[in-house]
Chains A and B, each alone.
Chain A
Amino acid sequence: SQKIEQNSEALNIQEGKTATLTCNYTNYSPAYLQWYRQDPGRGPVFLLLIRENEKEKRKERLKVTFDTTLKQSLFHITASQPADSATYLCALGGGTGGFKTIFGAGTRLFVKA
């Protein structure tokens, strides 16, 4: 079955450093991959979408890479701030999954001042 793996352990980093989160997937050939931010008790907020034919996408301090050979995406936050502390979700859609978008369980990020 289709599976998405995100590091279940929380990531703790110092303010100003680059945070790197990983998303791996198996049994799936998605047409696109998305990253969301979720704060406690709130719904996820869409951040970035990258298509299967794109290697990298940037938005302000965010950068996403997508390697369909490794079946992996990396999500980077540069110059991290305490306000970046949240859970970050990876989601895959299209391709062999059809209309569905399936989500990973997320990685909790803590940025210390």
Chain B
Amino acid sequence: ETGVTQTPRHLVMGMTNKKSLKCEQHLGHNAMYWYKQSAKKPLELMFVYSLEERVENNSVPSRFSPECPNSSHLFLHLHTLQPEDSALYLCASSQVEGPYGYTFGSGTRLTVV
């Protein structure tokens, strides 16, 4: 365990479903991130929360909706996804005052059918 826990590890959902990905860290970090990783492609930054405020929304479609209720928890709510949204979704955390490396979770492998 890295200190960043993501659930579920695997998720298969239909295009009309609604689901949520959860990320939890108890490292005392004050910034949290969602990244998407598709095969053979670089990690794509989706959302950044710094001190519980969203500071970056990287042109992500509205079918992805983040939520950061406190500095330890981050959610990614999913609805009406497309098959091309199938990927590994990674959560990371860090200290805002840095620079420091990111601590990543193990990811959620999402398959949209």
Contacts and interface: CB of A to CB of B under 8 A. Distances in A.
Interface residues of B, number: 27
B104 A43 contact: yes
Contacts of A94: 99
B12 to A, nearest CB: 16
B92 interface: yes
Interface residues of A, number: 27
B55 A46 contact: no
B112 interface: no
Nearest to B101: A46
B40 A43 contact: no
Interface in B17-32: none
Given A43-B90, A44-B90, 8 more contacts: A36-B102, A44-B104, A46-B103, A47-B101, A51-B99, A99-B56, A101-B45, A105-B41
